[in-house]
Amino acid sequence: MNSMMRKLITRRLCRAAVGAAVLALIAVPTAGAQPSPASGARYVALGDSGAATTGVLNIDPTAPLLCARSTANAPALIADALGISYEDRTCSSAKIRDLSGRQSGVVPPQFEALGPDTDIVTLHIGANDADMTKFIGSCHAAAVTGSCAAAADPAWDAAIDAITPAYTSALDEIHRRAPKATIFVDGWPTYFDPGTCSAMVGLLADDAAYIQSKFDRLNAVVSREATAHGAIYIDTRQASTGHGMCSAADTRWFDPVVGGDTMLPYHPTFAGHRGVAALIVATIRSTDAVPR
């Protein structure tokens, strides 16, 4: 693999969210999120790009442009399926701290949408806190000359485990701000089924499995803390088996490094958003969060 291809991988992985935001600036006029009622929206979606974006497609012109938020993302599909009003505060590149603070100094805190009238909260966040993009980029770079799996970096596990205090505090704060709400936490689906493909630009099969194992570790952390802090965890891993980045374009839940419609590798496709939304809707309907 030549130096030009290595630069392509790094650019796509490390600057994907920024690129989508820039394209959004070109495509739509400046607009901001509408203020939430003090009582809170009935359904509030919180999270990062894994819940927010479909890349350069279907950009929501009413959302902060930095968020690259989609009108066809999982929160929109969930609200439509349940027939309820909602406020989508998900934002690309968001970290847990951005739930309560202003992201990049411009995007209002996501928690502002919560209130005593909020019945449902969906939460998908933590990958940016765990520096997943940085470590994945390093893994792709290492695969050029060898294997990242063969030289496992213990800092990756440490970064994943380190999100725990902030994550649990966020769950507790959601309960405080929206005391009657049920919190639904969805994990990270399957990125890699066994093997690899040309669309992953030289990534070795062992390294693909290694990267998937780190998302599985992130799922384990989030699942454990969600359950311990009164939230309902939704496992999206099993249902997405067979829909990894090397699957057919119309069935994969995430786009690969090259050849994706969203121009955002390791980010959900429309099929991915539909799949996650269906799992969340089924779980919500199995509870008393929405009157039947």
pLDDT at 32 over 90: no
Q: Does residue 72 sit in helix, strand or coil?
A: coil
pLDDT at 259: 77
Set 49, 92, 93, 240: catalytic member: 49
Distances (CA, A) of 193 to 26, 151, 180, 206, 292: 36, 21, 39, 11, 37
Q: Which residue has the tokens 């309560």?
A: 100
Supply 34's token pair: 């509408």
Question: Of 45, 34, 33, nearest to 84 (Cα)?
Answer: 45
- Which range of 37-46, 176-185, 283-292 scores highest in mean pLDDT? It is 176-185
**Contacts for 247-252 with beta carbons within 8 Å, 24 or more apart?**
247/193
Residues 6 or more apart from 189 whose CB is under 8 A from it? 236, 237, 239, 240, 243, 253, 254, 268, 272, 275, 276
SS3 88: strand
Q: Could you give the 3-state DSSP secondary structure of residue 181?
A: coil
Cβ contact 279:236 at 8 Å: yes
Distance CA 17, CA 55 (A): 8
Axis-axis angle for helices 164-177, 205-228 (nearest 10)? 40
Verify whether residue 267 is a known catalytic residue: yes
- Residue 26 is which amino acid? I
List, for residues 134-160, the tens digit of each pLDDT value. Answer: 999 999 888 777 889 998 899 999 999
186 contacts 122 by C-beta, under 8 angstroms:
yes
Across the chain, mean pLDDT equals 88
CA atoms 137, 142, 143, 149: torsion sign: negative
Q: What is the pLDDT of residue 23?
A: 38
Strands 232-234 and 120-124: unpaired
Strands (E), the chain: 43-47, 86-88, 120-124, 182-186, 232-234
Q: Can you give the pLDDT at residue 59? A: 93
Looking at 92-204, list the stretches that DSSP marks H as alpha helix, in order from N- to C-terminal side. Answer: 132-142, 154-161, 164-177
Cβ contacts of 250 within 8 Å, gap of 6 or more = 271
Q: Which positions ≥6 away from 251 have C-beta within 8 Å?
A: 242, 243, 271
Phi, psi of 107 (to 5 degrees): -85, 125
pLDDT at 291: 65
The pTM score is: 0.88
pLDDT, one tens digit per residue, over 72-95 is 999 999 999 999 999 999 999 999
| 68 pLDDT more than 90 | yes
Tokens of 159: 């970064």
Q: Quick one: pLDDT band at residue 292, thresholds 50, 70, 90? A: low
Which of 124, 140, 243, 267 is catalytic? The answer is: 267
Looking at residue 12, its pLDDT comes to 53
pLDDT at 133: 96
